[in-house]
Amino acid sequence: MRKKQYLLQEGDVCKTIAFVVKGALREYNVDDKGNEHILQFALEGWVISDLYSFMTSEPATYNIDALEDSELLLLTKHSQEELLKRIPKYETYSRMQMTGAYMAMQKRVTSILSMSIEDRYLSFIEMYPNIVQRVPQHMIASYMGLTPETLSRVRKKISNSL
Amino acid sequence: MRKKQYLLQEGDVCKTIAFVVKGALREYNVDDKGNEHILQFALEGWVISDLYSFMTSEPATYNIDALEDSELLLLTKHSQEELLKRIPKYETYSRMQMTGAYMAMQKRVTSILSMSIEDRYLSFIEMYPNIVQRVPQHMIASYMGLTPETLSRVRKKISNSL
């Protein structure tokens, strides 16, 4: 898919789990005031989906679009069920992958609750150096729940203290 | 275990996943300034653990203690491996349970990023009415990343508008 194309739009049912072979995507929701809030980025080797919509067939509450020209491997619910039935190791892989995603999300909640904005940004660039290089700063601000101005101030403060 | 007893202290390795048979527990970390930040509550039927420490045998970064006298079913890593080996349905259960926990955590991040404090609290009491009844308000404030004063102001505002 090409840059800026949608894989999923809010209100549609999410019919696939996408494995990113090449490229970069983001998953985000839009609040009452029209502001975008990024839940997740996905680069090569990562997985992206509106999991709740995929599992329940309820309308998606998130949008997913491409930040770069991307190649995806799409897994439908039917293919996933077939894989789970036929390849026990896929179930193990899937459980481990979900455990990893859950632990990363726990870490993110704890960093929001208990770390200063400076430390949160330093931890983000340490964990995800590739995202920092490939994603525009205003999207990283959105992911962190900051305005672009606040993030820019934090980055200046950090670079001055180096 | 009795109320206020620890199941896990930061710095120790987390050796078990705990299924709550009866009672209530919380999992929290302590920041540089000594403030507690609650990652999770667990009531009957829920699971609680420092999963990263459990998986990697690294020292725990969270504490877990009992908010009420509680009865737990403790699963060690060895028991978990045995269950996974012998009972394929346990792997399915475990994958689904992890998927549910991950989706709940996604929802929490999105609510922090994109909802007003009032709406976050209303959504919390709708999702977790039992927690609101059994857990002191200052702990719910800690879970939401608010001061007890802010939460108390939000609750007054909500009850005035009813």
- pLDDT per position as a tens digit, A100-140: 999 999 999 999 999 999 999 999 999 999 999 999 999 99
- pLDDT per position as a tens digit, A81-95: 999 999 989 999 999
CB A44 within 8 A of CB A21: yes
- Residue A132, number of CB atoms within 10 A of its CB: 14
List residues of chain B with CB under 8 Å from any CB of chain A.
Answer: 29, 31, 35, 37-39, 51-52, 55, 61, 84, 88, 91-92, 94-95, 98-99, 101-103, 105-110, 112-115, 145
Question: Whole-angstrom Cα distance, residue A74 to residue B124?
Answer: 34
- pLDDT per position as a tens digit, B42-66: 999 999 999 999 999 999 999 999 9
The predicted pLDDT at position A162 comes to 75
User: How far apart are the CA of A56 and the nearest CA of chain B, in angstroms?
Assistant: 12
Number of A/B CB contacts below 8 angstroms equals 86
CB B13 within 8 A of CB B57: yes
Instruction: Convert A47-84 to b/e letters by CB count within 10 Å (16 or more is b).
Output: bbbbbbbbeeeeebbbbbbbbeebebeebeeeeeeeee
Tracing tokens 């302590």 back to the chain, one arrives at: B30
- Which residues of chain B fall below pLDDT 70? none
Chain B residues inside the 8 Å CB shell of A61: 110
| Sign of the torsion angle spanned by Cα atoms A147, A142, B109, A125 | negative
Question: Whole-angstrom Cα distance, residue B83 to residue B77?
Answer: 10
Beta carbons of A112 and B52 less than 8 Å apart? no
Beta carbons of A92 and B94 less than 8 Å apart? no
Beta carbons of B113 and A55 less than 8 Å apart? no
Report the mean per-residue pLDDT for chain A: 96
ipTM of the prediction? 0.93
The predicted pLDDT at position B106 comes to 95
